[in-house]
A and B are shown apart, each in its own frame.
Chain A
Amino acid sequence: DGGITQSPKYLFRKEGQNVTLSCEQNLNHDAMYWYRQDPGQGLRLIYYSQIVNDFQKGDIAEGYSVSREKKESFPLTVTSAQKNPTAFYLCASSTGTDGNQPQHFGDGTRLSIL
């Protein structure tokens, strides 16, 4: 079955450490996204990519970095510059980024600070 796989499910970060969250999709979608969700809040866009080797900053990109070397993969690095990284991180994909395409989500990664 096609879908989006995020790993790990839970992740703990030490002070000053960078961590990378994995996102892989086999839906053959061109567009991929990373969102952050804090308790009781909606999703906020971190980065998105419309095509391989291209990505754009979302509303809260500071302290995060991404790469898109393959169509299937869109890893997110939470750097030490992100001072409040504790959140639920969701990866999504869609056939296009024109706002009317349904986004398909992975099961998320919960990141906490040790």
Chain B
Amino acid sequence: GQSLEQPSEVTAVEGAIVQINCTYQTSGFYGLSWYQQHDGGAPTFLSYNALDGLEETGRFSSFLSRSDSYGYLLLQELQMKDSASYFCAVATMDSNYQLIWGAGTKLIIKP
């Protein structure tokens, strides 16, 4: 089967840096995406990695290691508005390139 694992909850302090990890077990891996979802809201796209390495978009960066089946989302200069759930999702050839989603990581930011 195909599965993704990410921590259920992470706590950090405003202004700090936090890393949210995602490990996956899939066949035919194609790419890893990250989405943010505020409570009761719609998910919004953050980043996509298909190749090994770091992708940076403002305060957010995403990393992928295909050989380790591992990725992470790095959030810098945390702000209270970053309090949300963060989902990793993988696309695979076996899933006909449709996204398979992790259960999400709830990020709690303390002042």
Tell me if B12 is interfacial: C-beta within 8 Å of chain A. no
Which stretch (B13-21, B64-72, B74-82, B93-101) binds chain A? Answer: B93-101
Tell me if B111 is interfacial: C-beta within 8 Å of chain A. no
A41, B103: Cβ atoms under 8 Å? yes
Tell me if A85 is interfacial: C-beta within 8 Å of chain B. no
A41, B104: Cβ atoms under 8 Å? yes
Question: In terms of DSSP, what is the predominant structure of the interface of chain A?
Answer: loop
Which stretch (A17-25, A60-68, A70-78, A94-102) binds chain B? Answer: A94-102
Give the total number of A-B pairs whose CB atoms are below 8 A apart. Answer: 59
Give the number of residues in B that approach A within 8 Å (Cβ atoms).
25
Tell me if A30 is interfacial: C-beta within 8 Å of chain B. no
**B residues adjacent to A (C-beta < 8 A):** 4, 8, 30-31, 33, 35, 41-45, 48, 50, 87, 89, 91-92, 96-99, 101-104
Give the number of residues in A that approach B within 8 Å (Cβ atoms).
22
A40, B45: Cβ atoms under 8 Å? no
Q: Across the two chains, which residue of chain A brings its CB closest to B44?
A: A105
Q: Contact partner of A43 among B30, B31, B43, B45, CB < 8 A?
A: B43
Tell me if A86 is interfacial: C-beta within 8 Å of chain B. no
Which residues of chain A have C-beta atoms less than 8 A from B102's C-beta? 42
B86 to chain A minimum Cβ distance, whole angstroms, is 11
Known: A99-B31, A100-B31, A100-B50. A45 touches B99 (CB 8 A): yes
Identify 10 new A-B residue pairs, CB closer than 8 A, beyond the known A90-B43, A99-B97, A100-B30: A40-B104, A42-B101, A58-B98, A90-B42, A97-B97, A99-B91, A99-B99, A100-B48, A100-B91, A102-B48
